[in-house]
Amino acid sequence: MRNRLATILTAAALAAPLAVPAPALAHPHIFAEARLEIVAGADGTVQELRNVWRFDEVFSSSVILDFDKNGDLKLDPHELAELGETIRTSLADYHYFSTVTLDGAQIGIQKPDVFHTTMQDKQLMLIFAVKPEKPVPLKGKLTFGIYDPTMYTAIDFPTDKDLVLKGAAFEKCQHKVVRPDPDDVISQNSASLTDAFFNDPTGTDMTKLFATRMEVTC
């Protein structure tokens, strides 16, 4: 299945037909800088992941063209709300690019209540929070990250300070930001990273190997 965010917004972002074949999606077309706050509750469980995504100016401009219904070359509050709801719905199949694991097991993500959307300095910003589908105790090894499994959207954390732990419960844990070296990932996983993966990334979830993440050990 194609990245549905791309399916909905590709025409604006790329000025190309929606029927782009899957191999064209093997490299990013949309770029965003992110901030992730991982919040723990007083009960010692992960409460939510707070996200801020700032998209590149090219994509942001194309989104204006696609959602500017009254032709005033800007997105009014109701147009921004429509955009936010469109993205909120379309990213459900991709768990909002959010990944949480506990001792290697993937944890599901709840659908967020709302996506807050705004334009700052000609760049689209999305602000939203997601919660785990079930309680995640701060025990063992946990990882938190944001990435697009189809590689259509490149999400980058400019500095390690853009991945943040919040809550006193994290004080008993050790943590580090991991930024995998692509060359090391390829050399260590050469048997898995086949031509089929690069031509059809929707068939695997190997992109997580390249994604920046926060590792927490409690």
Domain boundaries, the chain: 4-217
Instruction: Kindly report the pTM of this predicted structure.
Output: 0.82
Query: How many C-beta atoms surround the C-beta of residue 75 within 10 A?
Result: 23
Predicted confidence band of residue 54 (pLDDT cuts 50, 70, 90): very high
Angle between helices 77-90 and 4-14 (to 10 degrees): 130
DSSP run (H or E) holding 107:
strand 105-107
pLDDT tens-place string over residues 85-121? 989 988 888 899 999 999 999 999 999 998 999 999 9
The Cα–Cα gap between 40 and 61 comes to: 36
Side-chain half-sphere of 134: how many Cα atoms within 13 Å?
Answer: 6
Computed over every residue of the chain, the mean pLDDT equals: 82
pLDDT of residue 17: 32
pLDDT at 25 over 70: no
| Measured CA distances, 160 to 24, 53, 194, 212, 214 (Å) | 31, 15, 30, 9, 9
Q: Give phi and psi for 49, each to the nearest 5.
A: -115, 120
